[in-house]
Amino acid sequence: MYKYFIKPIFDILFAIILIFALLPIFFILIIVLCIINKGKPFFRQKRVGKGNKIFTIFKFKTMNDKRGQDGQLLPDNQRLTFIGKIIRETSIDEIPQLFNILKGEMSFIGPRPLLVRYLPFYTNKEKRRHNVKPGISGYAQIKGRNTLNWNERLSLDVYYVDNISMYLDLKIAYYTLLKVIKREDVALVPNNLMEDLDVERAEK
């Protein structure tokens, strides 16, 4: 009942409320980021959603597009802007995903949507993380976020899928809010902490 009816209704209702409540911040950030990023306030990337459906995730753009002499983008830590650092520390970069929720592609709570190229590298058990909509925050995020290794993170995602309930969602929402306020477990450049999943597992 909760998973199929109550949760989707809550998602849409609270997404609408938050979008209207955060409109002033939204417009200010768009203006600032347009100036800093040459008219590009948003970061867009293909991610995997429920049922392995591919969708475009939205975030506020926190890195510039500077390239080296070889024409390749510079490392993430060299492209992270001052404003981008603040936005990431406060998790404000995730606000545009409220529109992903309105489009029915995401939920407030669920496994974080990961890169499309990771698909061939999941175990059969880990593939179950795609049985539900991905979330802005999830069980793995309150248990360590980017400080977890991939096995731990994906195991927690599957645990959430197998135990989804209103109580668990409220628990995740509560601890997510605490971590955002305290700025805990924030990795400004996650790649500095861990290898990409496909790289790590291709080496084994």
Domain enclosing residue 7, as ranges: 2-202
Inform me whether the pLDDT recorded for 190 exceeds 90.
no
Burial class (CB in 10 A: 0-12, 13-18, 19+), 82: exposed
Indicate the pLDDT class of residue 101, thresholds 50, 70 and 90: very high
Cβ neighbours for 123, distance < 8 A, ≥ 6 positions apart = none
Q: Which residues contact 100 (CB under 8 A, 6 or more apart)?
A: 55, 57, 58, 106
Tally of structural domains, the chain: 1
Q: Is pLDDT of 192 > 60? A: no
